[in-house]
Amino acid sequence: MDASTGTPDDEPGLPGFASPASAATPYRVLARKYRPTNFGDLIGQEPMVRTLANGFSANRIPQAWMLTGVRGVGKTTTARILARGLNYARAGVPDTGPTVSMPELGLHCAAIMESRHMDVLEMDAASHTGIDDVRAIIDGIRYGPVSARYKVYIVDEVHMLSEKAFNAFLKTLEEPPPHAKFVFATTEIRKVPVTILSRCQRFDLRRVEAPVLHAHLAKVCAAEKVEAEDEALGAIVRAAEGSVRDALSLLDQAIAHGAGTVSARSVRDMLGLADRARILDLFEAVMRGSVPAAFAELRAQYDSGADPSVVLSDLAAFTHLVTRLKIVPEAASDPTLSETERVRGGAFAEKLSIRALSRAWQILLKAIPEVQAAPRPLAAAEMAIVRLAYAADLPTPDEALHQLRADAAAAPAGDPATEPGRPPLPPIPDLRGGGSAALAAAPRTMPAEPSPAAAPAGMRAPAPVAPPTPTLGRFEDLIALADANRDILLRTALERDVHLVRFEEGRIEIRLAPGGRPSLATDIAAAIERWTGRRWAVVLSKEAGAPTLDAAARAATETRHENAAADPFVREVLTRFPGAEIVDVRETASEALASAEQEILGEGDAARVDEVDADDP
């Protein structure tokens, strides 16, 4: 047994898994005690390990690696294991070169893992950011290794280097000596110049999946002889968010908090979490629309020490879980889920609709930062519960419109809601959070308006006046109709992609501009029939036709700019103010009126109007 590391002599790759450290050994936190020492110990990074193993076996070893990922997934640890694999050698065994298979401690392994080997140099770029630090590396790289096979430079948080330091690295990194290797680690890969990235073999270390991390924590607890509940480990895994170091640090804290026992209750108290079963009760009350019950449950959790923002976060997490169970029922096999979450989550997934779950997720996602920033978090959380209970299952605008139209069409002939001048008043269901018919409350109706006074005896009520049918007299009327019906895509296509060839009553001939969609003629005909109730023939033609309205508008704008630039007064202004330019040309009120008169009356009539105005005293 190695007293300094707690590693059994026959299992160097599993430090500390044989037995806990003795009382005489200084205590080491679990994140350091169970730090991987070989590639077999790395969890959740199988693609990277497979790539490195294949490269080492084929002797395709690059001069530099770039390791990136979130905190606690093993970047620095992987860099040290890489340095150990590059320099692995055993006494009395022929040298076989770099390898990923390290069944026992080699000649340099202990010194490399303890960061004290002369040929494996680690530099923290966060505290050594300048060009002088890089120049020291460049000056020392010319000399070969003292005892190892390679001289390995490990630069952690490499994105912190200055621009000049990165530039100083370029030449050396592209053509280093054969005995030098570089391993870079960073959490901010976007801050590393592409000139550096292009010279490195990049590995993106992934977040460790929840089942893998859960199994790793259970293994550590067994090695430490600590009793831990599965629900407690699941809560730690969720809080760690895929970071092994965070999970081990939380486990270390939970062991101390629970006096050697890791229970779900102690973990909840330590992290300020709410009871998962009570979160499910709160979710059920909210989706049932029972605001008093939801308020009581939220207050009870708050009194027991739960943070309101954490409660809403757990509520959002459970909403996401129910959505996953509805779409992917196999997600119920996740070991981090408790039996209660598995059973009740599946029941909710059967009853609630995707629309209700999506709306609840959106409301909670917006409410969480509001509660965190509110001076009274509990009150803000209660208001979020009210919004969720009353709006979680409201229909979307298009669904409400379709429902109104369907109810209006199905209304009987004598219904007061169908009288002339009165909009239909369909019954509005009470959609307070109930995601399904089983959870929805009884429907309610809007109060009816007072009916109009009855017509005097002997007089017939006026016949209902039908709304006027839109008419199309010219192509511009069609564009205005598209604008009135808020069909922005069709209006844009009419202005940009249509060359008008001929416009007649019931028939339109057009030529498509380059890039226009082939189905535009069919879309125009369908839109006209939908808006006017009449069928029009829209035909594609090969004639040139008129310019598109968009091109005509641009040409008119250019003409106005040219006319304005030709004006003597404008030329004088542009000469007096160098650099000035014409931004826009607008007509005055009198010019606009004259233009309208010419368009309506014709040039001759407009001229006669001008003569009458001039002679009028």
When comparing pLDDT for 12 and 215, which is higher? 215
- Per-residue pLDDT, 21: 45
Q: How confident is the model at residue 329 (pLDDT cuts 50, 70, 90)?
A: confident
Rounded distance between C-alpha atoms, residue 551 and residue 547, angstroms: 6
The residue range of the domain holding 240 is: 210-271
- 50 in any annotated domain: yes
Question: What CATH number does the domain containing 518 carry?
Answer: 3.30.300
State mean pLDDT over 388-401.
69
User: Do 199 and 311 fall into the same domain?
Assistant: no
- Per-residue pLDDT, 66: 93
CB 245 within 8 A of CB 72: yes
- Per-residue pLDDT, 276: 72
User: Do 237 and 253 fall into the same domain?
Assistant: yes
Percent of the chain beyond pLDDT 90? 10
State mean pLDDT over 254-266.
84
- Per-residue pLDDT, 319: 92
Nearest to 150 by CA among 186, 117, 172, 175: 117
- Per-residue pLDDT, 93: 78
Q: Is the pLDDT of residue 604 over 50?
A: no
User: Do 117 and 155 fall into the same domain?
Assistant: yes
Number of domains in the chain: 5
- 406 in any annotated domain: no
Question: What CATH number does the domain containing 136 carry?
Answer: 3.40.50.300
- Per-residue pLDDT, 411: 60
Give the least confident one: 195-199, 594-598, 601-605. Answer: 601-605
DSSP secondary structure of 125-191: TTT--SHHHHHHHHHHTTSPPSSSSSEEEEEESGGGS-HHHHHHHHHHHHS--TTEEEEEEES-GGG
- Per-residue pLDDT, 440: 40
Question: What CATH number does the domain containing 371 carry?
Answer: 1.20.272.10
Q: How confident is the model at residue 382 (pLDDT cuts 50, 70, 90)?
A: very high
- 458 in any annotated domain: no
Q: How confident is the model at residue 70 (pLDDT cuts 50, 70, 90)?
A: confident
User: Do 589 and 521 fall into the same domain?
Assistant: no
pLDDT tens digits for range 539-574: 888 888 888 888 888 888 888 888 888 888 888 888
- Per-residue pLDDT, 152: 92
- Per-residue pLDDT, 301: 85
- 90 in any annotated domain: yes
Q: Is the pLDDT of residue 615 over 80?
A: no
pLDDT tens digits for range 447-487: 444 444 444 444 454 555 555 667 788 888 888 888 888 88
- Per-residue pLDDT, 25: 67
Mean pLDDT taken over the chain: 78
User: Do 220 and 196 fall into the same domain?
Assistant: no
User: Do 215 and 331 fall into the same domain?
Assistant: no
- Per-residue pLDDT, 417: 46
Point out the domain boundary residue: 271, 286, 309.
271
Q: How confident is the model at residue 65 (pLDDT cuts 50, 70, 90)?
A: very high
Angle at 121 between CA 118 and CA 123, to 5 degrees: 150
pLDDT tens digits for range 288-302: 888 888 999 898 888
> Highest mean pLDDT range out of 231-240, 243-252, 263-272, 421-430?
243-252
pLDDT tens digits for range 110-140: 888 888 888 998 888 888 888 888 888 888 8
User: Do 196 and 333 fall into the same domain?
Assistant: no
**Structure tokens given for 191:** 């801050």
State mean pLDDT over 583-591.
68
- 450 in any annotated domain: no
User: Could you tell me how far CA 21 lies from the centroid of its own chain?
Assistant: 44
State mean pLDDT over 94-102.
81
User: Do 238 and 359 fall into the same domain?
Assistant: no
Grouping H, G, I as helix, E, B as strand and the rest as coil, residue 462 is coil
CB 111 within 8 A of CB 148: no
Distance set, CA 541 to CA 165, 254, 493, 505, 511 (Å): 65, 77, 17, 17, 5
CB 398 within 8 A of CB 378: no
- 18 in any annotated domain: no
Q: How confident is the model at residue 12 (pLDDT cuts 50, 70, 90)?
A: very low
Q: Is the pLDDT of residue 172 over 90?
A: no
Give the least confident one: 6-10, 20-24, 174-178, 208-212. Answer: 6-10
Point out the domain boundary residue: 352, 370, 391.
391
Angle at 158 between CA 157 and CA 159, to 5 degrees: 90
State mean pLDDT over 424-428.
46
- Per-residue pLDDT, 598: 56
User: Do 176 and 60 fall into the same domain?
Assistant: yes
Nearest to 244 by CA among 71, 444, 84: 71
Rounded distance between C-alpha atoms, residue 486 and residue 386, angstroms: 34
User: Do 197 and 72 fall into the same domain?
Assistant: yes
Q: How confident is the model at residue 590 (pLDDT cuts 50, 70, 90)?
A: low
- Per-residue pLDDT, 181: 92
- 426 in any annotated domain: no
- 434 in any annotated domain: no
User: Could you tell me how far CA 268 lies from the centroid of its own chain?
Assistant: 28
Point out the domain boundary residue: 237, 271, 305.
271
User: Do 281 and 344 fall into the same domain?
Assistant: yes
Q: How confident is the model at residue 396 (pLDDT cuts 50, 70, 90)?
A: low
Distance set, CA 520 to CA 23, 475, 527, 536 (Å): 82, 15, 10, 14
User: Do 227 and 191 fall into the same domain?
Assistant: no
